[in-house]
Amino acid sequence: MAFQLKSDLNPEAEPSGGTLRCLVESARTTSSPLNLNTLSADWITLFQQRSLHQAHDPVRDPHQDPGILWFGQVLVIKDRNTSPALGIPAALLNQIPAMACIMAPISSDGIPWGLLVVYSYQAREWQGWEMKLLQQLSFQAAIALRQSQLYKAAQTQVRELEQLNRLKDDFLSTVSHELRTPMANIKMATTLLEMGLLQQGLLQDPESRLNRHFTVLKQECQREIRLINDLLELSRIQASLDFDVLHLIDLQTFLPQLAEPFQERAQQQGQQLQLDLEADLPVIQTHSPYLERILQELLQNACKYTPTGET
């Protein structure tokens, strides 16, 4: 008796590694291994039809049946020379290069795509435990193959996400650098223009239309520069951030240093930035770049949207 696994009957299936075979020859046989490549995809159709009608089968004793019978989802052929039965065409039986065999489908999502076959060179009375064992092996093979397919799909998705992330980083970096140079030129030109207008006394009246328009120009220019710097900072943080590394931060030192640049900005806008810290603030452990960026954004929004004269 020999054991062989054929998994390429279904032309739509794509098992990894092509045809999957496992051959174990009994020590009592000297015959060469059988070649199951002659089995056609019609066998898959046979097992698909079987799965639709299995629930209507009566309970049967395998030892009381003729040479060809169904045992659950397992096809049992005791003697291939037996007259064709169970609606199995003789052409299919002639494809089996053995006298006796038992077959179990390897199914994925209820669709058979391969067969697990145990065969014998001579007519054989198959035992119930052999049929049950083959059926269990087919279940385990289906589970393993399904897990392999899921793992392959997951790996493909991970590679695609990594590629998208690289494209996003490249885009942010390219756009930020391409925009930074012209904005620097615009800012320099605006500064030179302001100096010329001041020398001519054209900006002395804060209520004049020219002064209002020029103020809007400077503010919008500065806003665009901040947006570009934010993009560059985001790229830098994402490139350097290591989620496995946490930093110990002393808030008594960290927060005043972070708020210092905003103190002057608040004074220029007629606002009051007040920092009240408890004396017993604990040392925290976190990702320092992310915490710094979040707090800077909060302070920036506070300075931007707080009315003049408020705290």
pLDDT tens digits, residue range 151-173?
Answer: 999 999 999 998 988 888 788 77
How far CA 161 is from CA of 130, 154, 165, 175, in Å, comes to 46, 11, 6, 21
Angle between helices 251-268 and 288-305 (to 10 degrees): 30
What was the pLDDT predicted at 159?
Answer: 93
The reported pLDDT for the residue numbered 24 is: 35
pLDDT at 13: 42
Give 225-228 contacts, CB < 8 A, sequence gap 24+. 225/183, 225/184, 225/187, 226/300, 228/176, 228/179, 228/180, 228/183
> What is the structure's pLDDT at 46?
72
Of the candidates 52, 50, 69, 51, the one whose C-alpha atom is nearest the C-alpha of residue 60 is: 69
Strand duo 111-120 + 68-71: pairing? unpaired
CA distance 51 to 72: 9
Tell me what pLDDT residue 158 has: 93
In the predicted model, residues of the chain with pLDDT beneath 50 are 1-32, 55-64
Question: For position 105, what pLDDT does the model report?
Answer: 84
* Pairwise CA distance, residues 58 & 61, whole Å: 10
CATH of domain 156-240: 1.10.287.130
User: What is the reported pLDDT for 155?
Assistant: 94
Other beta carbons within 10 angstroms of residue 204's beta carbon come to 10
Residue 22 has a pLDDT of 36
Per the CB < 8 A criterion, the answer to whether 101 and 77 are in contact is yes
* Tokens at 19, concatenated: 């045809």
Beta bridge partners of 116: 5, 104
Q: Which residue bears the tokens 């898959």?
A: 44
CA–CA gap between residue 262 and residue 75 (Å, rounded): 80
Structure tokens at 254: 């960290």
* E strand spans, the chain: 2-6, 24-25, 68-71, 74-77, 100-108, 111-120, 247-250, 283-286
Which residues is 271 bridged to in the sheet? none
Q: Residue 59: what pLDDT?
A: 42
Whether 203 and 194 have beta carbons less than 8 Å apart is answered as yes
Measured CA to CA, the distance from residue 116 to residue 54 in angstroms comes to 18
Decide: helix, strand or coil at residue 68.
strand
Q: 0.75 cut: is pTM over it?
A: no
